[in-house]
Structure 1
Amino acid sequence: MTRISRRAALLGAAGCVCGAAGCTARSHRAAARPPGTTRPGPASPSPRPSHGDGLPRTTPWRPSAAEVTPAAKLRAVQLVEALGAWRPGGSGPAAARSRVSALHLGPALADQAGPLLPTADAAAVQVIDAQYGGILAGSASVLVVCRQWTRTADRVSAGGTTVDVRLVRTASGWTVTALHPAHPGAPEPRPPSRVHKILSDPRIELPPAARADLLAGRVHDSVLAAMLRLAGTYRMSVSVVRSGHPLDVFGTRRPSDHPRGRAFDVWRIDGHPVVDPGTSRALVERFMRDAAAAGSYNVGGPLRPSGGVIANQFFSDATHHDHVHIGFRA
C-alpha cells in the first residue's frame, strides 16, 4: 500500500481467445491499444492525477475498427469498467448490481465479479487489453485484462485481474452471460530464479494476473525460458499466461494449454499492437518464427507462416487476429 498522492476516475475492459490447437478457449484479443485512444497505440497509459478521490485517473478502453467483432469486446469491457470502479459511497454488492443494471444486463452478474469487488471506499480500473478467448457465430469469450486501484481511508492499493467474459449474440446485440475472474493462487515463498529475471526485465510487460501466475509457481519452465529468450530480441506485452483463460479451447472439449501453465499470449510487439493493421506483418511473422525456435509446438497469430519444424506448428484464425499464442508441451 502507498499513501495517496494522486486521484482517479475509471473504466476499461478486455478479453482473449485462442483458436485451433492449444490456446485456451479464446479466439482473438482486443484491439491492442492504450485505453482512451481511437486507434491501437504503442504504449499502455500511465495513471494520472484525478479529480479528488485519491485514485489515479483512468480512461475508457474502446475497440478499434480493426477488430473482428468490436461490439462483443466493447460489451465485455463496459461491464468490467462498471464493476471495477466506484466513487465514495458506491461500494458494496447492492451498488455493484445497480451499475450492472444500468448497462441493461442481469444484476446477478455482479455476484460473479470476485476480485473486481474488494472491500474499499472507492476504486478505479484501467483496462490494459481485451482479447478474444474465442469467437463463434453466436457466442464469444473476451478476456479483459485490467489494473485496479482501491482506496480505503487514506490508503491506496494497486492490483488488478483478468476476467473471462462470456457473451452470446441476441437479436438486440451481444449480451453477457457469465464472468470468470482469474484465480492465480498464493505466491510461492521462493519463486524460481527465472521468475525473478522475468519480473525485473523491462522488455517483458506483465499485467497483474500474469505476474501473479508466475509468482504462484504454476507456470511451466518452458514458458519462462521462452519469455526470456524472446525478450533478448523484442519488447513484448503479455496479456494472458495461465489464469483468466478458458479451461478448454473455446467451442470444444479440448483442454487449453493456458490453464496448465504451458502457454502465454502476446498482444503487443516492440510497441506495436498485433491487431493494428499498421503493424508490420514481417515483424509479427518474425516474432512467431522466433517463438517456434524457442521451443513452442503451437504458435498462432493473425497470419500463418509457411513451414515449421513439426506439422501444424503455426496456425491462424479469427481468434488470434489480435494476439500471438505461444504454447508448449509438458
Structure 2
Amino acid sequence: MPATTAWSPDRDDVDPAVKLRAVQLVEAIGAWTAGRGGAATAKRRVAALGASPSLVDQAGALLPTADAAALQVVDAQYGGILADSASVLVVCRQWTPGHAGGTTIDVRLSRAQPRWKVTALHPARPGAALASVPSAARQVLADSRIVLPPAAQADIRSGNIHPSVLRAMLRLAGTYRMYISVVRSGHPLDVFGTNRPSDHPRGRAFDVWQIDGHAVVDPGTSRRLVESFMRDAAAAGSYNVGGPLRLSGGARANQFFTDNTHHDHVHVGFAA
C-alpha cells in the first residue's frame, strides 16, 4: 500500500475549519489497516471523531470490501459555502490490495459548536464506462496536461460529458497544465443554496483547482496566471467563468463572476 499524508487546508481559505472537518470524516471512513475493514469498524472510527456513525451508511464507493485501504485526499473544494451550511467536495485516490481507484464525496455540513457538523455524504456516481469512448474523450484522457482524479476520469469514460467541455479542456491544455477537481459526478445537483440546476451534473462544466502546479486558493499564486486562465476559458466557449478574481469585460454580460465558493477554484461552464 502506498504511503499517504494527511490533508490540511490553506490558512488563507475562506473557512479552513469546514474543509478540515469534511476531510477528517472522509479519511476516517476511507482508510484502514489490515483486518479493520467493514462498516462496523468504520462507524467506530467516525464516532471517535465525534460524528454520527450513521454517516458510514452513506459512504458508497468510499468503503469498498477490502482487508485494508489507503486514501490520499487530492483536494477539498467548496461545492458551496454559506453562513451556516456548506458543501465540501473531497477529491481522493484510494488503494486496496490489488486495486487503485478513488472517488469524490460531496460532504454536507452545518455550522455548530465547537466545530462544523457533518450532516450527509453524497458519493460520486459516474456511471458505467462506454464500450467505445468518443475521440475527444480519448484525447482528454491521454493528455498529460489534463490531470484528472478518478471520479472525473470515470465521468469522461461514461460518455456523459458534453463535447464543448472536452474541446475546451483540450484547447486550454495547449497553454496550461490543468489539475481538474470535479467534472460531473460528486458535485451538488443544484447551485448550492438555490434551486437552480448546476451545469456539472448535466456534463457541461469542469472545475480546476491548480494551474501549472499553482493552487488557485494559494495567495502566492500569480493573479496574472489565474486571470489569464479565466479569460482563456471564456475564449474557449465558456459562458460562465467563476474564480477568486472579479474580472471586467467578457463577450457577454456576467460572463465572469466571483464569490466565496469560487475562492478556491476556477469554474468553467457551458450552455451547450
> TM class by shorter-chain length?
over 0.9
Which amino acid is 2:35 matched to?
G
1:118 is matched with 64
RMSD: 0.5
1:92 aligns to 2:34 (yes or no): no
Tell me how many residue pairs correspond in the alignment. 272
Q: What is aligned with 2:99? A: 157
Give me the whole-angstrom Cα distance separating, in 2, the residues matched to 1:76 and 1:173.
11
If asked which structure has higher relative contact order (CA below 8 Å, sep 6+), I would say: 1
Name 2:225's counterpart in structure 1: 283
* 2:86 paired residue number: 140
Identity between Structure 1 and Structure 2 (%): 72
Q: What corresponds to 1:328 in structure 2?
A: 270
Which shifted more, 213-222 or 193-202? 193-202
* Residue 109 of structure 1: how far off its partner (Å): 0.3
Secondary structure at the residue paired with 1:122? Answer: coil
Tell me, which stretches of 5 or more residues in structure 2 are unaligned?
none
Matched, 1:73 2:19: yes
How many Å separate the matches in 2 of 1:59 and 1:205? 20
Q: Which residue of 2 aligns with 1:272?
A: 214
| Residue 127 of structure 1 pairs with residue 127 of structure 2 | no
Question: What corresponds to 2:133 in structure 1?
Answer: 191
Structure holding more helix per residue: 2
Aligned pairs for 1:165-204 (under 5 A) are 165-204=107-146
Could you say what secondary structure the match of 2:245 adopts? coil
**1:309 to partner: Cα distance:** 0.4
Aligned pair partner of 1:207 in 131, 139, 149: 149
Aligned to 2:198: 256
Tell me the residue number matched to 2:176: 234
2:240 is matched with 298
List per-residue Cα deviations over 1:193-246 (Å, max 9, x = no partner).
111111111100000000000000000000000000000000010000000000
Flag as ranges the 4+ runs of structure 1 deviating above 2 A. none
Structure 1 Cα separation of the partners of residues 78 and 34 of structure 2: 33
* AA aligned opposite 1:315: F
How many Å separate the matches in 2 of 1:72 and 1:293?
Answer: 34
User: CA–CA distance in 1 between the matches of 2:144 and 2:162?
Assistant: 21
Unaligned runs of 5+ in 1: 1-54
User: Could you tell me the TM-score, scaled by structure 1's length?
Assistant: 0.82
Letter in 1 for 2:227: E
- Offset at residue 272 of structure 1 (A): 0.5
Deviation at 1:326, TM superposition (A): 0.1
TM-score by length of 2: 0.99
Establish whether residue 56 from structure 1 lines up as the match of residue 2 from structure 2: yes
Question: Following TM superposition, by how much is the alpha carbon of 1:171 offset from its aligned partner in structure 2, in angstroms?
Answer: 2.5
